[in-house]
Amino acid sequence: MAEPNRLERRDFVKVVVAVLGSIMGAIIVLPGIGYLLSPAMSVQKKEAWIPLGPLENYPIGVPTLFSFTQTTVNGWEKTINSHGVYVIRFDEINYTVLSNMCTHLSCRVTWQEDLSEYICPCHDGHFDIEGQVTFGPPPAPLEEFETKIEDGNLFIFFAEG
């Protein structure tokens, strides 16, 4: 009979096997998890002032699309993403630059001259000329960019990530 509070040989072996087994299991499993999650662990932040050319190039009253590309390195490969922004000049002085990315699920909106609205083809989201939601599922107005004019050129501050 074992004395009270005395660890029996059988129980001792059980504990040692459980502890060593857990350590060995962790050594095998954790690198595997790290391997799979690896690309998700690095966040790339991108910030840049994008030149859109002289403001005078854009007509007054009609939203005009400007397209540019941004390059990111994903894994071993350079990924070139296309972006579009709408430049809207209300008059000689006032203007705004809106993203063409729908705030619902990131499809691209298009300006429809006959309706005077931006329309998203994916789930029929509608926005007015200033980007406010007028119809459909989008939860927020179109994103407005921070702008500046330097040496007669219009710039937008583009940030991602």
Partner 1 sequence: MAEKVFTWLDERLGLTTIYNTVLDRKVPKVNWWYTLGSASLFLFVIQAVTGIFLTVYYVPSPDHAYDSVQYIMNEVAFGWLIRGIHHWGASLMVLFVFIHMLRTFYFAAYKYPREITWLTGVFLLLATIGMGFTGYLLPWNQRAYWATTVGTEIPGTAPLIGDFIIRILRGGTDLSAVTLARFFSVHIWFLPAIILLLIGIHMYLVIRIGISSVPHKEDNPKEG
Structure tokens at 77: 């490969």
Among 4, 61, 75, 161, binds partner 1 (CB under 8 A): 75
Q: State the virtual CA torsion across 19, 23, 25, 31 in degrees, nearest 10.
A: 160
Q: Minimum Å distance from CB 41 to partner 1? A: 7
Among 21, 25, 31, 53, binds partner 1 (CB under 8 A): 31
Q: Minimum Å distance from CB 69 to partner 1? A: 20
Q: State the virtual CA torsion across 19, 21, 22, 28 in degrees, nearest 10.
A: 150
Beta bridge partners of 77: 74
Q: Minimum Å distance from CB 76 to partner 1? A: 4
Q: Which residue's CB is nearer to partner 1, number 31 or number 53?
A: 31
What is the β-pairing status of strands 117-120 and 110-112?
Answer: antiparallel
CA 18 – CA 16 distance, rounded (Å): 5
Using rule CB under 8 A, residue 76 touches partner 1: yes
DSSP class of residue 43? P
Structure tokens at 152: 């007669």
Using rule CB under 8 A, residue 35 touches partner 1: yes
Q: Minimum Å distance from CB 5 to partner 1? A: 25
- Which residues are at the interface with partner 1 (CB under 8 A)? 31-32, 34-39, 41, 75-77
